[in-house]
Structure 1
Amino acid sequence: MSHARSDRPKTAALIVAAGRGVRAGGDVPKQYRPVLGRCALARSLALFAGHPEVDVVQPVIGEADGPLYAQLADPAPAVLAPVTGGATRQASVRAGLAALAAHAPDVVLIHDAARPFASDALVSRAIAAGRLGPAVPGVPVTDTIKAVDGAEKIESTVDRTRLRAVQTPQAFPFALIQDLHARAAAAGRDDFTDDAALAEWAGLPATVFAGEPGNIKLTTPEDFTSSEARLLAALADVRTGSGFDVHAFGDGDHVILGGHVIPHNRGLAGHSDADVVLHALTDAVLGAIGSGDIGFHFPPSDPKWKGASSDQFLAHAISLVKERGGLVAHLDATVICEAPKIGPHREAMRAAIARITGLPVERVSVKATTTEQLGFAGRREGIAALASATVRLPWGSP
């Protein structure tokens, strides 16, 4: 979204996403690993791009991660093209700051992409604190802390009342943090693990403002498991919806089913592309959230939808679920026809639906049946589809 400036200082967010995250396991860097269907980097970008006080968002990604980044959903207008990071976190932040210089922000928030659960309120606190000087979010340490020697023998008990576990986003006046990074690079220092450490090194200790216990950093496989469990617990309102659609055969040499083109000796007649599978799935999702039907959102009387690709109908229904803070847990479709044969195309249809919806393909089911030559489908006059959708929403959603 585009954010009106009014008279407030201009704020930029720098999202550090160039690391490898090897401790998290998996086949991709941890910032691209899904957490309940949406990866940490996508969640972090959406948080800052959607905040009314953030003007621009600068992602910094790994040199080899361009294809992974390109697979994310289309970014909001506030998100700038990614820049390539360096071998260390410090080098990556420096690259991001250099890219942001052309946008002349007053304040910059530097955030680790692997902390995808920060809240809007935390971002607001960071911006307010960063306008006054270096500032970092922190939470009190609740465990008893022991100092040990090289043999793991306890030497002393540390006074935890003076300890804080520091998080991101860390906030700074832009010119100040840009200067600190330049000075550190000139001094050959490239070993600082966070940006507050640069301020300490320069004799400018940062202020700590209230962090959030839920603003965890995804580091280990257990972090992913516990985060998904926490997110699911918050989506306790489980709903189902059903959909049905039918289209008659007409002239043509192919049909489109589930977003997949299948050669056939006839086509399907309809105002759009007549994809009965995607139409039924769209109605199922809309039904689960009580949001009317496909005709309400995309009236056949409107010429703009003539010949339209039906993937945009299903994508719109999915977006409505996301706007309510929910997710689609499963989609199931049954195609009813004598021909064409669906079996050879089932996996391609599942993959297409997964692509349209952003669901893992294992959460998409496509089946087929005939009517034993009974009725319009049995007479090969058209194709029908039944669908169901399982949706999870935050408890208390309308």
Structure 2
Amino acid sequence: MSTFGKAFRVTTYGESHCKGVGAIIDGVPPGMELTEADIQPQLSRRRPGQNKLTTPRDEKDKVTIMSGTEFGVTLGTPIGIQVPNLDQRPHDYNDTDVFPRPSHADYTYLQKYGVKASSGGGRASARETIGRVAAGAIAEKYLRLAYGVEIVAFASSVGKVAMPFISELGNADSPEPEVIEFMNTITRAEVDADISRCPHPPTAEAMKELIAQKSHEKDSIGGTVTCVIRKCPIGLGEPCFDKLEAILAHAMLSIPATKGFEFGSGFNGTKMSGIEHNDPFYQKEDGSIGTTTNNSGGIQGGISNGENIYFRVAFKPAATISQDQTTANYDGVTGTLTAKGRHDPCVVSRACPIVESMAALVIMDAALQQESRRAAFSKLPPIEINHALLGKPPKKD
């Protein structure tokens, strides 16, 4: 379906070449200042045509809030947002009436629905993510105001070119203090300082060279996006089936072109022993409890523990390329598909705000569910609680 979330519900609409795309966002708390200026920056970071590493399709992606606010304040009612499609070229897709594009959604959509969008990728296009990013910007504003949450995603690899210490997350031999410091301090301004959205200059230069090479070859290349969520409230996540990392995986793997999700120590953690992988607790200066390492990735038992939440998302090479490809048409007859259109040689840099937005939707939904539980608990009369169950010693007279 096209709806994500329970307490904070986002429904996206629109195809790549229809009149416009957008979203309906239900569950936004009332009384928050909100205008288009709060949403537009993330849409501008996601939009096509922003630099030489992206598709030249020239969409400004200017957002309009259609409902749910008055005098720049949220009403608590559904917020409708809309972005027009202005730079469509349906004629670029004439060949796809005959050939399903290899590794694209043309064939599967036709088999599922018996009909498909005649141009572009329809709902499988990255244009669909505009609604997600707009909704994510709204969620981010609330999370920032209510809890101080910070979410930053960056390009961590393109092809075999990777940021050295990020690629070794969860490895027992990795420089853990360097990774922790980086994750604690990386900002969006630092990410956006280079068009690759890689905040490690030597790696960024190598990424750009590789992407330029693939673009010249009329080919594409994949990569990974790493994301960190800081200052996440403790206690988010709904065991057993809606563990926080499970919902994050669901959210990330719903993004077009994703092929993998790695959380915390990820697959490198399988190479470690228990004593290497465990995250010991300690008391911080403010009296709260933290962990000396963070192989758990900020989530234990499916519930946030207050440490940084971090994960990586794998993106495949863009399926639509400008090279001639030998393939079969819808009748099964072998022929040559000549793809036109305007396509990203690498989707990773534009994926960063999409990953951030989906992370915001997950944390927002989980936070509202937890706030509902706390509010319900607060209405009950006080009871004697066994302090042993709370993990705290009883107070002494």
TM-score > 0.5 by shorter chain: no
Q: Normalized against structure 1, the TM-score is what?
A: 0.22
By percentage of residues, which structure has more strand? 1
* TM-score using structure 2 length: 0.22
